[in-house]
Amino acid sequence: MMCNWGVLGSGFVATRAVIPAIQGSRNGRVRALASRDRMRAQNIANLWNIERTYGDYQALLDDPTVDAIYIALPNHLHCNWTILAAQADKHVLCEKPLACSAHEGEKMLEACHNAHVQLMEAAMYRFHPRTRRLRQLVEDGVLGQPRFLHSSFTFSLNNPQNYRLSSEYGGGALLDVGCYCVNALCWLGGTPPVEIQAFVAHREPGGIDLDVSALLCFADGMLGHFQCSFAAAEHQSIEIIGSRGAVTAPLAFTAWRDDTTMLHLQRESQIIHEEFAPADPYQIMVEHFVEALQSQVAICYTPQEAIQTLGVLDEIRLSF
């Protein structure tokens, strides 16, 4: 069966990644798009053969033909529109971060649970074949016992009008790109950290964090470190150093559907470069979500994991 999707928002993520992924999927189609800019929504709809557009988010939620909602809105709107979508009996795939805090995430999950609908955060990087291989290397013991984990996501954000630089919109480097870094460390580490030491190097006059770094200590003695920034050069990576080997994934979080990707595996003096053909992690993610809705598979990334990530982010922010 095909899943009928509605998309809230018509920004960069929706138009470049989400809509193409759903329209190219084998089990879903975008049937409706809502945007505050109705003309923009109509232009996008014409491009991607979307049947209906709305200039109001609630109007889309009231559409009885829509089964699931992709929320592609700024961070501060995720909680409210997820709850309203659940009340409208719609399943929700929500852009990362799931919410602005663990408390908001819990409210979203409770609303979806009460409405008997599924909630998932769109952590698309975890669905890329290369990322799955990274996880497999840990699970199969190829690297030995993991000792150190590192993740990084930095880029230079030069537009002062960008919503990511507004506290009202849930901005800041930690919440926007640091969520990827923390999610990866907790996922690969297997548990939430037991101790955190965080540092903020630079902040905007309005309080928005630009450079954040933190050290995470896990129960088995494994150490994780990450850095995120809106002021540093473009850089993304995940690195795992184990007792018998190490692996690095460059451009770890936003490999696009046309990008060939690499893993660099080192064991003693030998370095193996594994190449992965282009893949669309958004498409793999939305197909998995629909399969889970149709009870074909168990959902592989639970909302509880996303809320766990938010809890770590909350604790890091307490040290600001």
Q: Indicate if the pLDDT at residue 206 is higher than 80.
A: no
What global pTM score does this model have?
0.96
The half-sphere exposure of 32 on its side-chain side, counting CA atoms within 13 A, is: 23
The pLDDT tens digits for 128-153 are 999 999 999 999 999 999 999 999 99
Question: CA 203 → CA 167, 211, 212, distances in Å?
Answer: 12, 7, 9
Q: Where are the domains of the chain?
A: 3-124, 129-278
User: Tokens 């197909």 map to which residue?
Assistant: 287
The CATH number, out of the four listed (3.30.450.20, 3.40.50.150, 3.40.50.720, 3.30.70.270), of the domain defined by the range 3-124: 3.40.50.720
Instruction: Name the 3-class secondary structure at 149.
Output: strand
25 confidence band (pLDDT: 50, 70, 90): very high
> In this structure, are strands 261-267 and 119-122 parallel, antiparallel, or unpaired?
unpaired
Domains 3-124 and 129-278 share a fold: no
Structure tokens at 209: 């964090």
Residues present in the chain in total: 320
Cβ–Cβ under 8 Å, residues 55 and 41: yes
CB-CB neighbours of 156 under 10 Å: 11
Q: Which DSSP symbol is given to 233?
A: P
Q: Which of 221, 259, 255 is nearest to 238 (CA)?
A: 255
The pLDDT tens digits for 42-101 are 999 999 999 999 999 999 999 999 999 999 999 999 999 999 999 999 999 999 999 999
- Domain covering 129-278 in this structure, CATH number: 3.30.360.10
The pLDDT tens digits for 147-193 are 999 999 999 998 988 999 999 999 999 999 999 999 999 999 998 89
